[in-house]
Structure 1
């Protein structure tokens, strides 16, 4: 039986995460990130709404005030995270703080695709019934995110060791 190679490997001894993606996967992620940046800057794609959930479901005026208050900061955080991922995409390992930026971007991409595919948290995929590239990409991003969470799951004790 062959060994499973994970996309990411946490290295608490170095306070880093090893990136084990092959070049093709890195290219795909880089292309998605470029598209994501364009979407964020354009700000007209309805699937972005999932990235800016309403704070007040029953009061649109309060929600608009909240959105005016936080939207630019959230946008800035996402754009900075994209910058980090683009800068570090070809590295073999990265600092944990930079890896959190990767996780934010991967999760954002997953949320956008999930919105486009009308996926809910209760949905279960029948892997034999996946027929379009967006579904395949959604599952790939979900697996990447799960592996990223696992790889970054250092205990505080491990992380604080010097």
Structure 2
């Protein structure tokens, strides 16, 4: 039996989105949370991985850079989240919609990783998690989003 692929090319420039009901529910639940965080407080520390420091050695240049690009970056992320939120039940995606899914899933994963203090050295061990604690559920969502992002990127790259 071949492993399940959450997204696959249709051969006509569109993509089939083959998510299970619980996966769609997860996306539908998380998107509004990140959207609210971005819209309400784009300076929240949970967003540090979305807006890394460009000039750590020069605070003045960093402030100027943030002033120039921050609003546009927040706006683009909000637009992407709106698109994905509206497509949680979609079964087919255009190339633009696929790109929005990649960006939104990546953004959600970065924020969740910040909240969980995930590092590059962390490995998944579901047996260790044990019961369904809020942290274990969040970690499972984090690892799932990584798996989904990998497939989104892979199918997008295969169409180039």
Q: TM-score, normalised by structure 1?
A: 0.88
1:7-46 equivalences under 5 Å are: 7-11=6-10, 13-43=11-41, 45-46=44-45
Contact 1:47 1:116 in 2 (8 A): yes
1:140 aligns with 2:144: yes
How many residues matched?
154
Structure 1: runs of 5 or more not aligned: 157-162
Q: Quote the residue 1:91 is aligned against.
A: 90
Tell me what 2:158 maps to: 154
* Residue equivalent to 1:78: 77
Provide the C-alpha distance between the structure 1 equivalents of 2:3 and 2:159, rounded to a whole number of angstroms: 23
How high is the TM-score relative to the length of structure 2? Answer: 0.89
Alpha-carbon separation, structure 2, partners of 1:88 and 1:117: 27
Counterpart in the other structure of 1:160: none
Mapped partners of 1:155, 1:109: distance in 2: 24
- Measure how far apart 1:85 and its partner are: 0.8
Q: 1:102 is paired with a residue of what secondary structure?
A: helix
**SS of alignment partner, residue 18 of structure 1:** strand
- 1:136, CA displacement in angstroms? 0.7
Contact conserved, 1:106 with 1:141, CA < 8 A, in 2? yes
How far did residue 5 of structure 1 move?
A: 1.5
What do residues 55-100 of structure 1 show as CA deviations (whole Å, max 9, x unaligned)? Answer: 1011111101100110001001101101111222222111011110
Deviates more, 1:129-138 or 1:140-149: 129-138
**Uncovered stretches (5+) of structure 2, i.e. residues with no partner:** 131-135
Alignment RMSD (CA, Å):
1.5
Contact 1:10 1:153 in 2 (8 A): no
Distance 1:123 1:28 in 2: 22
Higher mean C-alpha displacement, 38-47 vs 93-102: 38-47
CA 1:62–1:101 in structure 2 vs 1: closer, same or farther (change >3 Å)? same
